């Protein structure tokens, strides 16, 4: 695959399929391959760690950007090329202004608070493992707050995001 083809591959995702791995080519074992897994570029943590201000010191990303560029250059030089690259973990360090982290995978609504950071876990669109209905979390961000509600798919279809959240959007 040429560099131009590789650059456009993610724009070709359609119908829950990424055609970078066509099924007609990938459905049978083709032999050994390898992939790369990277973790925690966590832009902002290095400065925060070095200054001892991990709560609000993550406002400079220079070191992490250089290391990420070095990783990309190293990957691009590999021969043979990896089948794919997966990036996991913390992408950015919690910088000043981060009020909430939204996540899934628990297949039910949950959450908690640590210091002033809310962890919000939304239930699934698909398979439910708790008593929650299939739905989506609506998150309204204003200059002063982050307000969220889990709305069932039926509620969203019939009522939209709801009067309370709609009123927040009307405020300037």
Domain's final residue, options 97, 128, 146: 97
pTM of the model: 0.50
pLDDT at 112 (0 to 100): 92
Please identify, among 97, 125, 147, the residue that sits at the C-terminal boundary of a domain: 97
The separation between CA 24 and the C-alpha centre of its own chain, rounded to angstroms, equals 30
- Report the 10 Å Cβ neighbour count for 9: 14
Q: How many domains does the structure of the chain reveal?
A: 2
Instruction: Write out the residue range of the structural domain in which residue 78 sits.
Output: 34-97
Q: Which of 65, 80, 97 is the C-terminal boundary of a domain? A: 97
Dist. CA 158–CA 145, nearest whole Å: 26
Q: Is 148 contained in some domain?
A: yes
Closest CA to 169 of 133, 153, 145: 145
Pairing mode, if any, of strands 135-141 and 85-88?
Answer: unpaired
Give every residue of the chain whose pLDDT is below 50, as ranges.
Answer: none
**Residue 94's pLDDT is what?**
60
């Amino acid at each position: 695959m040429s560099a131009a083809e590789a650059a456009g591959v993610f724009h070709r995702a359609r119908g829950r399929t990424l055609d970078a791995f066509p099924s007609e080519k990938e459905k049978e074992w083709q032999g050994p391959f390898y992939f790369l897994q990277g973790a925690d570029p966590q832009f902002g943590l290095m400065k925060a760690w070095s200054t001892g201000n991990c709560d609000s010191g993550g406002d400079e990303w220079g070191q992490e950007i250089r290391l990420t560029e070095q990783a990309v250059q190293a990957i691009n030089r590999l021969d043979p090329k990896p089948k794919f690259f997966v990036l996991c973990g913390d992408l950015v360090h919690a910088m000043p202004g981060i009020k909430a982290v939204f996540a899934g995978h628990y297949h039910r609504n949950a959450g908690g608070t640590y210091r002033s950071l809310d962890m919000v876990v939304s239930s699934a669109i698909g398979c439910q493992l708790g008593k929650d209905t299939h739905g989506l979390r609506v998150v309204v961000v204003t200059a002063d707050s982050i307000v969220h509600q889990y709305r069932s798919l039926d509620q969203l279809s019939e009522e939209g995001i709801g009067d309370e959240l709609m009123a927040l959007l009307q405020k300037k």
